[in-house]
């Protein structure tokens, strides 16, 4: 199996031993504590799950600036984005060397992790602007990722962590949430050698479905892992439970049994386009995938990125930075002449022959209770989405 990023073995930061975890939970009750941001809680879940291997905790300011500028920490570890715990006010933990991190996304704010405090640093306005520009390629406050990144504060708490739970993800998505180690075990159990991962924050329509089939066939993969984001999204995106139901129905009906696994991970979407595509590749390597599908406008939002910027960034990362391979997908559509889903680059026909529906048009049709064209969406999937939109309208 493909090795994890940055180490020979996966080193998740979740405390597996029940007795040790109970001991730490008892200790946490007596520690200075602070409620962290949703983004930091997502980082803790990803660190605990092994997805952010080989990091041991939250980056300090020097590593955050270096990751933003060079896609590597100061010790040379390749990592495409800062992984930070930033707060607005750290006065509650002033002088503490060990603190309890409280989950903002669960009622009662339970302890999600314990952190050893190596430093507490203030990020200057210029440093915040620089990191924002380098990671998101814009400082526009209307960009949802920029708004989230700049809205949590400027006080950075760095140091290693011990993760005590996976926030709300295991409870809310027991059939879907999986750690990187659990997916590695799943791949081994299935006897898969070559594995392609598909990232999604949306329901999968026929174009997405066919893109997975194309990648499996062209890369001669034994199986595919549909890996959906289960954390916070921007307003207007389909909730995770609805996406989960729609994707499971598609997988059940339109993929050969034993060739697909439907899973998810606990993280808030960054909408960072090219940089987030690299992050997606890194943590898919940690979960055991040998290939990642990077399609048109991968992890993008609005018009902030070119259609294929998330692919070309892989031409610029250092050779050997990651072992995972990228399957580069083109815009995938139904061609009326070919009578099938095609990638535009492989099709001899033109846009007049393609069925093209914007996201706005699709949402409007669903909200109006109109069936989506079967060439665009599987009817069983469309039915689940229509039910959701109908419920929203009422």
Closest alpha carbon to 57 in 167, 156, 196:
156
Provide the b/e sequence for 279-311 (b: ≥16 CB within 10 Å): bbbbbbbbbbbbbbbbbbbbbbbeebbeebbbb
Q: Are 167 and 266 in contact (CB under 8 A)?
A: yes
- What angle, 0 to 180 degrees and rounded to 10, lies between the N-to-C axes of helices 379-393 and 240-254? 160
- Concatenated DSSP letters of 170-188: HHH-TTTB--HHHHHHHHH
115: three-class secondary structure by DSSP: strand
Strand 111-116 relative to strand 98-102, pairing: antiparallel
- Give me the phi and psi of 293, to 5 degrees please: -80, 125
Task: Name the percent of the chain in helix, strand, coil, to the closest 5.
Answer: 40, 20, 45
In Å, how far from its chain's centre is CA 38?
14
Residue 121 CB-half CA count within 13 A: 19
Rounded to a whole number of angstroms, the CA Rg of the chain reads 21
CA–CA dist 24, 19 (Å, integer): 9
Indicate the helix (H) or strand (E) that contains 310. helix 309-312
Catalytic annotation, residues: 201-202
At 217, is the secondary structure helix, strand, or coil? Answer: helix
């Amino acid at each position: 199996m493909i090795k994890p990023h940055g180490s020979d073995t996966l080193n998740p930061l979740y405390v597996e031993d029940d007795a040790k975890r109970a001991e730490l939970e008892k200790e946490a009750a007596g520690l200075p504590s602070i409620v962290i941001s949703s983004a930091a809680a997502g980082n803790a879940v990803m660190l605990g799950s092994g997805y952010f291997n080989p990091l041991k905790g939250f980056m300090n300011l020097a590593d955050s600036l270096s990751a933003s500028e060079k896609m590597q920490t100061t010790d040379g570890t390749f990592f495409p984005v800062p992984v930070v715990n930033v707060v607005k006010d750290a006065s509650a933990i002033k002088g503490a060397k060990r603190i309890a991190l409280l989950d903002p996304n669960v009622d009662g704010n339970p302890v999600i992790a314990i952190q050893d405090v190596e430093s507490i640093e203030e990020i200057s306005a210029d440093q915040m602007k620089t990191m924002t520009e380098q990671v998101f390629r814009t400082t526009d406050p209307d960009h949802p990722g920029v708004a989230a990144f700049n809205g949590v504060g400027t006080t950075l708490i760095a140091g290693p962590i011990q993760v005590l739970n996976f926030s709300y993800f295991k409870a809310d998505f027991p059939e879907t949430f999986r750690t990187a180690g659990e997916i590695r075990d799943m791949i081994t159990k299935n006897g898969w050698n070559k594995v392609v991962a598909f990232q999604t924050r949306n329901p999968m329509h026929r174009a997405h479905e066919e893109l997975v089939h194309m990648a499996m066939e062209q890369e001669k993969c034994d199986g595919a892992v549909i890996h959906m984001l289960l954390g916070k999204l921007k307003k207007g995106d389909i909730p995770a439970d609805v996406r989960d139901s729609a994707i499971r129905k598609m997988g059940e009906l339109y993929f050969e049994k034993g060739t697909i696994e439907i899973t998810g991970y606990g993280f808030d979407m960054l909408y960072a386009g090219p940089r987030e595509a690299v992050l997606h590749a890194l943590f898919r390597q940690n979960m055991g995938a040998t290939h990642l599908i990077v399609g048109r406008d991968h992890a993008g939002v609005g018009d902030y990125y070119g259609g294929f910027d998330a692919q070309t960034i892989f031409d610029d990362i250092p050779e050997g930075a990651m072992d995972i391979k990228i399957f580069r997908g083109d815009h995938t559509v139904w061609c009326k002449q070919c009578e099938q889903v095609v990638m535009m680059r492989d099709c001899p026909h033109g846009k007049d022959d393609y069925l093209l529906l914007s996201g706005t048009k699709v949402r409007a049709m669903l909200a109006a209770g109109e069936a989506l064209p079967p060439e665009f969406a599987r009817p069983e999937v469309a039915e689940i989405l229509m039910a959701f939109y109908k419920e929203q309208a009422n």
